[in-house]
Amino acid sequence: MPELPEVETVRRGLAPDMEGALIEKAEARRPDLRFPFPDRFAERLTGQRILALRRRAKYLLADLQGGETLIMHLGMSGSFRIDHGDPVAAAAFHAARGKAAAHDHVMLTLKDGPAIIYNDPRRFGFMTLTATDELDDHALIAHLGVEPTGNAMSADILAQGMAARKSPVKAVLLDQKLIAGLGNIYVCEALWRAQISPRRLARTLVTRGGEPSVRLERLTGEIRSVIAEAIAAGGSSLRDHVQANGELGYFQHTFAAYDREGEPCRHEGCGGLISRIVQSGRSTFYCPRCQR
Protein backbone atom coordinates (compact mmCIF):
# COMPACT_ATOMS: atom_id res chain seq x y z
CA MET A 1 0.00 0.00 0.00
CA PRO A 2 1.39 3.45 -0.84
CA GLU A 3 2.84 5.18 2.20
CA LEU A 4 3.14 8.88 2.98
CA PRO A 5 6.02 9.64 0.57
CA GLU A 6 4.17 8.05 -2.34
CA VAL A 7 0.96 9.95 -1.58
CA GLU A 8 2.86 13.23 -1.16
CA THR A 9 4.60 12.59 -4.48
CA VAL A 10 1.23 12.10 -6.16
CA ARG A 11 -0.08 15.30 -4.56
CA ARG A 12 2.87 17.31 -5.83
CA GLY A 13 2.41 15.88 -9.29
CA LEU A 14 -1.30 16.72 -9.45
CA ALA A 15 -1.29 20.10 -7.69
CA PRO A 16 -0.02 22.27 -10.60
CA ASP A 17 -2.95 21.16 -12.78
CA MET A 18 -5.64 20.77 -10.13
CA GLU A 19 -5.24 23.72 -7.77
CA GLY A 20 -7.35 26.63 -8.96
CA ALA A 21 -8.90 24.57 -11.76
CA LEU A 22 -12.62 24.26 -12.48
CA ILE A 23 -14.03 20.74 -12.76
CA GLU A 24 -15.97 21.03 -16.00
CA LYS A 25 -17.21 17.45 -15.83
CA ALA A 26 -16.87 14.66 -13.29
CA GLU A 27 -17.54 11.00 -14.14
CA ALA A 28 -17.81 7.95 -11.89
CA ARG A 29 -17.78 4.95 -14.19
CA ARG A 30 -18.99 2.48 -11.58
CA PRO A 31 -21.08 2.83 -8.41
CA ASP A 32 -18.27 2.02 -6.00
CA LEU A 33 -14.60 1.36 -5.32
CA ARG A 34 -13.83 -0.15 -1.91
CA PHE A 35 -16.95 1.64 -0.70
CA PRO A 36 -19.91 3.09 -2.62
CA PHE A 37 -19.50 6.64 -3.84
CA PRO A 38 -21.57 9.17 -1.88
CA ASP A 39 -24.94 10.24 -3.25
CA ARG A 40 -24.77 12.40 -6.40
CA PHE A 41 -20.98 12.09 -6.34
CA ALA A 42 -20.26 13.23 -9.90
CA GLU A 43 -22.96 15.91 -9.75
CA ARG A 44 -21.51 17.41 -6.57
CA LEU A 45 -18.04 17.61 -8.14
CA THR A 46 -19.08 19.02 -11.51
CA GLY A 47 -18.79 22.80 -11.65
CA GLN A 48 -16.63 23.03 -8.52
CA ARG A 49 -13.35 24.93 -8.41
CA ILE A 50 -10.51 23.18 -6.59
CA LEU A 51 -9.13 25.64 -4.05
CA ALA A 52 -6.31 23.47 -2.72
CA LEU A 53 -4.93 19.94 -2.93
CA ARG A 54 -3.60 18.79 0.44
CA ARG A 55 -2.45 15.61 2.11
CA ARG A 56 -3.22 14.28 5.59
CA ALA A 57 -1.42 11.04 6.43
CA LYS A 58 -2.13 8.78 3.41
CA TYR A 59 -5.20 10.74 2.25
CA LEU A 60 -5.35 13.26 -0.59
CA LEU A 61 -7.72 16.14 0.17
CA ALA A 62 -9.17 18.42 -2.52
CA ASP A 63 -10.88 21.47 -0.99
CA LEU A 64 -13.75 22.64 -3.22
CA GLN A 65 -15.19 26.12 -3.58
CA GLY A 66 -18.65 24.92 -2.59
CA GLY A 67 -17.51 24.06 0.94
CA GLU A 68 -16.87 20.34 0.57
CA THR A 69 -13.61 18.38 0.56
CA LEU A 70 -12.98 15.37 -1.65
CA ILE A 71 -11.18 12.69 0.40
CA MET A 72 -9.17 10.24 -1.72
CA HIS A 73 -7.25 7.10 -0.76
CA LEU A 74 -5.16 5.08 -3.23
CA GLY A 75 -5.64 1.70 -1.59
CA MET A 76 -3.32 -1.04 -2.87
CA SER A 77 -3.25 -0.32 -6.59
CA GLY A 78 -4.80 3.09 -7.16
CA SER A 79 -3.01 5.73 -9.23
CA PHE A 80 -3.75 9.03 -10.91
CA ARG A 81 -2.60 10.17 -14.30
CA ILE A 82 -2.86 13.47 -16.12
CA ASP A 83 -4.32 13.04 -19.61
CA HIS A 84 -3.74 15.93 -22.00
CA GLY A 85 -5.65 14.20 -24.77
CA ASP A 86 -2.71 12.60 -26.58
CA PRO A 87 -3.90 9.07 -27.53
CA VAL A 88 -0.39 7.94 -28.49
CA ALA A 89 1.07 8.92 -25.12
CA ALA A 90 -1.91 7.43 -23.31
CA ALA A 91 -1.51 4.11 -25.16
CA ALA A 92 2.19 4.01 -24.33
CA PHE A 93 1.44 4.65 -20.68
CA HIS A 94 -1.10 1.82 -20.53
CA ALA A 95 1.26 -0.63 -22.21
CA ALA A 96 4.21 0.26 -20.01
CA ARG A 97 2.33 0.28 -16.71
CA GLY A 98 -0.31 -2.36 -17.38
CA LYS A 99 -3.05 0.10 -16.44
CA ALA A 100 -5.92 -0.98 -18.65
CA ALA A 101 -8.51 1.67 -19.50
CA ALA A 102 -11.16 -0.71 -18.09
CA HIS A 103 -9.84 0.25 -14.66
CA ASP A 104 -10.23 4.01 -15.20
CA HIS A 105 -13.00 4.50 -12.64
CA VAL A 106 -13.11 8.26 -12.02
CA MET A 107 -12.40 11.11 -14.44
CA LEU A 108 -12.28 14.82 -13.64
CA THR A 109 -12.19 16.92 -16.81
CA LEU A 110 -10.72 20.32 -15.97
CA LYS A 111 -11.86 23.41 -17.89
CA ASP A 112 -9.13 24.51 -20.32
CA GLY A 113 -6.93 21.81 -18.86
CA PRO A 114 -6.28 18.07 -18.79
CA ALA A 115 -8.39 15.23 -17.47
CA ILE A 116 -7.37 13.74 -14.13
CA ILE A 117 -8.01 10.00 -14.26
CA TYR A 118 -8.10 7.63 -11.30
CA ASN A 119 -7.19 4.03 -12.21
CA ASP A 120 -7.51 1.18 -9.71
CA PRO A 121 -7.42 -2.48 -10.87
CA ARG A 122 -8.08 -3.94 -7.41
CA ARG A 123 -10.51 -1.21 -6.32
CA PHE A 124 -9.16 -1.02 -2.76
CA GLY A 125 -9.00 2.77 -2.98
CA PHE A 126 -11.97 5.01 -2.28
CA MET A 127 -13.31 8.54 -2.57
CA THR A 128 -15.85 10.38 -0.48
CA LEU A 129 -17.04 13.91 0.20
CA THR A 130 -17.46 15.78 3.47
CA ALA A 131 -18.04 19.36 4.58
CA THR A 132 -14.66 21.11 4.74
CA ASP A 133 -15.40 22.73 8.09
CA GLU A 134 -16.17 19.28 9.54
CA LEU A 135 -13.13 17.53 8.07
CA ASP A 136 -11.12 17.39 11.28
CA ASP A 137 -13.99 15.51 12.95
CA HIS A 138 -14.48 13.05 10.10
CA ALA A 139 -14.10 9.38 11.12
CA LEU A 140 -11.19 8.92 8.71
CA ILE A 141 -9.27 11.96 9.96
CA ALA A 142 -10.15 12.61 13.61
CA HIS A 143 -7.96 9.85 15.09
CA LEU A 144 -4.78 10.69 13.15
CA GLY A 145 -1.62 11.65 15.01
CA VAL A 146 1.12 14.10 14.14
CA GLU A 147 2.62 14.32 10.66
CA PRO A 148 6.23 13.10 10.41
CA THR A 149 6.98 15.94 8.01
CA GLY A 150 5.95 18.82 10.25
CA ASN A 151 7.30 20.60 13.30
CA ALA A 152 4.61 18.98 15.46
CA MET A 153 6.51 15.68 15.50
CA SER A 154 9.18 15.75 18.18
CA ALA A 155 10.96 13.34 20.49
CA ASP A 156 8.84 14.74 23.33
CA ILE A 157 5.61 13.85 21.48
CA LEU A 158 6.89 10.34 20.75
CA ALA A 159 7.96 9.91 24.38
CA GLN A 160 4.45 10.78 25.53
CA GLY A 161 3.01 8.15 23.21
CA MET A 162 5.55 5.46 24.11
CA ALA A 163 6.01 5.87 27.86
CA ALA A 164 3.32 3.39 28.88
CA ARG A 165 3.47 1.14 25.81
CA LYS A 166 4.55 -2.47 26.32
CA SER A 167 4.40 -3.16 22.58
CA PRO A 168 7.48 -3.39 20.34
CA VAL A 169 8.63 -0.04 19.01
CA LYS A 170 7.90 -1.16 15.42
CA ALA A 171 4.21 -1.67 16.24
CA VAL A 172 3.96 1.64 18.09
CA LEU A 173 5.50 3.59 15.20
CA LEU A 174 2.89 2.08 12.86
CA ASP A 175 0.06 3.30 15.11
CA GLN A 176 -1.59 6.04 13.07
CA LYS A 177 -2.88 7.64 16.27
CA LEU A 178 0.71 8.48 17.17
CA ILE A 179 2.31 9.27 13.81
CA ALA A 180 0.07 9.75 10.78
CA GLY A 181 1.11 8.17 7.50
CA LEU A 182 4.19 6.31 8.63
CA GLY A 183 4.19 2.82 7.10
CA ASN A 184 6.10 -0.44 7.17
CA ILE A 185 8.86 0.38 4.69
CA TYR A 186 9.95 3.63 6.27
CA VAL A 187 9.68 2.37 9.84
CA CYS A 188 12.09 -0.45 8.95
CA GLU A 189 14.48 2.03 7.36
CA ALA A 190 14.33 4.55 10.21
CA LEU A 191 14.91 1.86 12.87
CA TRP A 192 17.89 0.54 10.91
CA ARG A 193 19.39 4.01 10.64
CA ALA A 194 18.91 4.62 14.36
CA GLN A 195 20.27 1.12 15.15
CA ILE A 196 17.22 0.27 17.25
CA SER A 197 15.77 -3.23 17.23
CA PRO A 198 12.15 -3.46 16.05
CA ARG A 199 11.62 -5.93 18.90
CA ARG A 200 12.62 -3.41 21.59
CA LEU A 201 9.72 -2.37 23.82
CA ALA A 202 8.70 1.20 23.05
CA ARG A 203 8.72 2.27 26.70
CA THR A 204 12.44 1.45 26.99
CA LEU A 205 13.15 4.46 24.78
CA VAL A 206 11.69 6.77 27.44
CA THR A 207 13.39 7.70 30.70
CA ARG A 208 11.78 7.08 34.08
CA GLY A 209 10.99 10.77 34.21
CA GLY A 210 9.06 10.55 30.93
CA GLU A 211 11.73 12.26 28.86
CA PRO A 212 12.91 10.95 25.48
CA SER A 213 16.14 8.97 25.66
CA VAL A 214 19.12 9.77 23.45
CA ARG A 215 18.10 6.83 21.27
CA LEU A 216 14.58 8.19 20.84
CA GLU A 217 16.00 11.60 19.93
CA ARG A 218 18.10 9.90 17.25
CA LEU A 219 15.14 7.87 16.00
CA THR A 220 13.02 11.02 15.67
CA GLY A 221 15.66 12.59 13.46
CA GLU A 222 15.98 9.47 11.32
CA ILE A 223 12.21 9.31 10.77
CA ARG A 224 12.30 12.87 9.46
CA SER A 225 15.30 12.13 7.25
CA VAL A 226 14.02 8.95 5.69
CA ILE A 227 10.62 10.48 4.90
CA ALA A 228 12.21 13.60 3.38
CA GLU A 229 14.60 11.55 1.25
CA ALA A 230 11.80 9.25 0.07
CA ILE A 231 9.65 12.22 -0.97
CA ALA A 232 12.59 13.73 -2.86
CA ALA A 233 13.04 10.38 -4.65
CA GLY A 234 9.40 10.20 -5.69
CA GLY A 235 8.58 7.43 -3.23
CA SER A 236 9.23 3.71 -3.60
CA SER A 237 7.90 1.73 -6.56
CA LEU A 238 7.54 -1.88 -5.47
CA ARG A 239 4.41 -2.99 -7.32
CA ASP A 240 1.82 -0.41 -8.33
CA HIS A 241 3.09 3.03 -7.35
CA VAL A 242 3.67 5.48 -10.18
CA GLN A 243 3.86 9.23 -10.07
CA ALA A 244 1.15 11.32 -11.72
CA ASN A 245 3.37 11.72 -14.80
CA GLY A 246 3.72 7.93 -15.13
CA GLU A 247 7.27 7.76 -13.80
CA LEU A 248 8.35 5.34 -11.09
CA GLY A 249 9.70 6.39 -7.73
CA TYR A 250 13.27 5.28 -7.04
CA PHE A 251 13.78 5.34 -3.24
CA GLN A 252 13.65 1.52 -3.29
CA HIS A 253 17.16 1.55 -4.77
CA THR A 254 18.49 2.99 -1.51
CA PHE A 255 16.84 0.54 0.90
CA ALA A 256 19.28 -0.47 3.63
CA ALA A 257 16.96 -2.87 5.46
CA TYR A 258 13.58 -3.34 3.80
CA ASP A 259 13.38 -6.38 1.46
CA ARG A 260 17.11 -7.14 1.88
CA GLU A 261 16.83 -10.43 3.78
CA GLY A 262 20.14 -12.30 3.84
CA GLU A 263 22.16 -9.39 2.49
CA PRO A 264 25.06 -7.76 4.39
CA CYS A 265 24.24 -4.94 6.79
CA ARG A 266 25.46 -1.63 5.41
CA HIS A 267 26.52 -0.17 8.75
CA GLU A 268 30.28 0.16 8.60
CA GLY A 269 32.06 -2.58 10.51
CA CYS A 270 28.87 -4.43 11.46
CA GLY A 271 29.34 -7.66 9.55
CA GLY A 272 25.78 -8.81 10.21
CA LEU A 273 23.11 -9.96 7.79
CA ILE A 274 19.64 -8.49 7.36
CA SER A 275 16.97 -10.75 8.81
CA ARG A 276 13.24 -10.94 8.25
CA ILE A 277 10.71 -11.52 11.01
CA VAL A 278 6.93 -11.14 11.09
CA GLN A 279 5.38 -8.64 13.50
CA SER A 280 1.63 -8.10 13.61
CA GLY A 281 1.30 -9.88 10.28
CA ARG A 282 3.86 -7.66 8.52
CA SER A 283 7.40 -8.36 7.41
CA THR A 284 10.08 -6.58 9.40
CA PHE A 285 13.63 -6.33 8.08
CA TYR A 286 16.51 -5.49 10.43
CA CYS A 287 20.06 -6.36 11.45
CA PRO A 288 20.10 -8.45 14.66
CA ARG A 289 23.77 -7.63 15.20
CA CYS A 290 23.76 -3.83 15.30
CA GLN A 291 20.11 -3.00 16.01
CA ARG A 292 19.64 -3.27 19.75
Residues in the chain: 292
Alpha-carbon distance of 17 to 266, in angstroms, equals: 41
Catalytic: which of 12, 25, 282, 289?
Answer: 282
Active site residue 8: no
Catalytic: which of 44, 56, 58, 99?
Answer: 58
**Residue 171's closest CA among 192, 197, 146?**
197
Active site residue 170: no
200-203 own/partner pairs: CB under 8 Å, 24+ apart: 200/168, 200/169, 200/292, 201/165, 201/166, 201/167, 201/168, 201/169, 202/162, 202/165, 202/166, 202/167, 202/168, 202/169, 202/171, 202/172, 203/162, 203/163, 203/164, 203/165, 203/166
Catalytic: which of 2, 148, 168, 212?
Answer: 2
Active site residue 2: yes
Active site residue 3: yes
Rounded to the nearest 5°, which phi and psi values hold at 194?
-85, -5
Active site residues: 2-3, 58, 282
